[in-house]
Chain A
Amino acid sequence: MKIFHPVKDPTLLTVYIVASLVGSFLVLALMHKFLSLRAKGRFITALTFLAGFFYSLEFFLPAKNGKNFLTPWVEPVGDALAVIGAFAFPLGLVSLAIVHWGNIKRKREGWYFSLVLFIATIAMALSAFLSYYAHLSIAKKIYSCLFDGLYIPLGVAMMSTLAFYIVSAAYRAFRVTNVDAILMMGAAIIVMLGQIPFGMWLTSWLPMQGIVSSLRIENVSNWFMTVVNMSVQRAIGFGLAVGGIAMALRVWFSLERGMQMGGK
């Protein structure tokens, strides 16, 4: 079932966008005007419960060929949630603009970076619109230069710094200060040696088969990863899964009454 499908016709698209914006703002304004704070809270609680109820019912009801009577509605409901979420996007942009405009206005340290942000935002948006709708080749080139030539390399450069951070974190983690650290360092050395040819060469004189073969460094390393490490990962995973269920239930039934959920 496709309710929120893409519209190709520009006139229809404009009509849809304007109508949805006007309709949404009208609904929000009416709610703001006529609903008390308590009624708004109850409305949110009811909506939260209904949304959770829909997804859990869809999951638990028996399905034939992977579908039950609610399955066709999963996509439209998901799309509707994405549309609601999209309403918050301009708020984020406004927040970003306010912070950086304040930097420029008050000439705070590094204010020119804020200026770069505005210039980059306008340049990216303009080039993307002009290349997509007006099919201007110059706009395409500018967009490609900014996105492929600048934005992606900057992201990759940031990611590449991880290599150095891993070394410094590992140095601190493996400092031998107590028995636990000695055990951890020993395990780490075995796992690292098990991944490289030199490590495998160290125990290559041991037979490939039989009980003694378990002492070959690649097998010990594999045992650490698949038995010791995996069992702990799964234990943490079980705890997280149950914790996630408990938290989801608290949100679903609106039992989470902290300040973050409108409580005191």
Chain B
Amino acid sequence: MEHATTGVAILELSITGAILFSIFWARGGKEFFLRRIAAFSVIDEAIGRAVEMGRPILFCTGLSGLGVTFFQALAILSYVVRRAAEYGVRVIVPLFASEVYPLTEEVCKEAYRAAGKLEEYNPSDVFFLSNDQFAYASGVVGIMHRERTATHFFLGDFAAESLILAEEGHSVGAMQIAGTPATLQLPFFVAACDYTLIGEEYYAASAYISREPIIVGSIKGQDLGKIILLFLSLSGVIGVTLGGKMAIIFQNLFR
């Protein structure tokens, strides 16, 4: 395993410090503004569409295993399931990794309980499908066609199967909301889905949905972290352009 150099340690600790500072600032009562994110704003509309059509919702977490990407997808899933339960719409959740199954099942059950409709929870709507990439993709496509799903959420880690899922979803006429930290898959989602979460918007999910001050504070901290990176990038460009000792310093800053 690699270890932090002095430059990397200072940079990472600065970003971590900025995030923690913002969290404690928010905990102290400071309210931060969170800009509107289109993909989150239309979640209720997407659920409403499924209600009107009387068809189920498909929530696909892609190839996510237990990790930060999956936790964000769960944050949105818990909200979607709760809202869908309130209106009596099924949410089908096929899973790629078996280790996330118990957690996902518990979240869905908890969402039904929060909606006051625990008796309507159907355990067979959350299931492990396959841990093979294309077997999983073909399974999800099969569900889309058999169940004639009205709304699709693609949130999590995706690879080559992203376009198969999004295009098949488009062909069944579903409204589609997608988001992934895999930058290579973003163009496919942008082309084939109605709304796409781009970049760090994906990690703002729990803050946007819960509006919990501490989590919103961490989003503010992210902005501070990006300012640090922007400052470093600009300094690097100027330093390397000037040449000489400055260029050598910046070229070796993180080595």
Contacts and interface: CB of A to CB of B under 8 A. Distances in A.
A and B assemble together: yes
Interface of A: 58-63, 66, 68, 71, 74, 85-86, 88-93, 95-96, 98-99, 102, 109-110, 154-155, 158-159, 161-162, 165-166, 168-170, 172-173, 233, 235-240, 242-251, 255-261, 264
Given A91-B101, A168-B167, A173-B187, 10 more contacts: A58-B3, A88-B98, A239-B199, A240-B183, A244-B181, A245-B222, A246-B225, A249-B19, A258-B78, A258-B209
B216 to A, nearest CB: 11
A98 B191 CA distance: 37
Contacts of A161: 164
B128 A236 contact: no
Q: Is the interface of A mostly helix, strand, loop or mixed?
A: helix
A92 B101 contact: yes
Nearest to A169: B191
Nearest to B100: A88
Contacts of A102: 124
A66 B4 CA distance: 10
Given A59-B1, A162-B163, A258 B210 contact: yes
A88 B218 contact: no
Contacts of A251: 68, 71
Given A161-B164, A169-B163, A169-B167, A260 B78 contact: yes
B71 to A, nearest CB: 6
Given A159-B134, A260-B77, A248 B68 contact: yes
B218 A249 contact: yes
Interface in B7-65: 9, 12-13, 15-16, 19-20, 23
B120 interface: no
Contacts of B202: 240, 243
Contacts of B155: none
A245 B15 contact: yes
Interface of B: 1-4, 9, 12-13, 15-16, 19-20, 23, 66, 68, 71-72, 74-75, 77-79, 82, 95, 97-103, 105, 107, 110-111, 114, 123-124, 126-129, 131-135, 137-138, 146, 160, 163-164, 166-167, 181, 183, 186-188, 190-192, 198-200, 202-204, 206, 209-210, 212, 214-215, 218-219, 221-222, 225-226, 229
A71 B2 CA distance: 10
Contacts of A86: 99
Contacts of B190: 173
A243 B98 contact: no
A83 B255 CA distance: 35
B22 to A, nearest CB: 9
7 contacts: A59-B2, A90-B98, A162-B163, A162-B164, A242-B225, A258-B74, A259-B111
Q: Is the interface of B mostly helix, strand, loop or mixed?
A: helix
Given A165-B163, A260-B75, A246 B99 contact: no
Contact of B215 (A58, A89, A99, A255): A255
Contact of A257 (B12, B137, B210): B210
A260 B134 CA distance: 28
Nearest to A158: B134
Contacts of B103: 260
A259 B200 contact: no
A100 B28 CA distance: 52
A106 to B, nearest CB: 11
A154 B146 CA distance: 20
Given A88-B102, A260-B78, A95 B128 contact: yes
A255 B99 contact: no
A64 to B, nearest CB: 10
Contacts of B203: 240, 243-244, 246-247
Contacts of A258: 74-75, 78, 206, 209-210, 212
Contacts of A95: 98, 101, 105, 126-128
B107 A99 contact: no
B128 to A, nearest CB: 3
Given A63-B3, A66-B3, A159-B160, A244 B102 contact: no
Contacts of B146: 109-110
B223 to A, nearest CB: 9
Contact of B110 (A239, A245, A259): A259
Contacts of B137: 158
B198 A236 contact: yes
Contact of B191 (A172, A239, A264): A172
Contacts of A240: 181, 183, 199-200, 202-203
Given A110-B146, A236-B198, A243-B199, A165 B98 contact: no
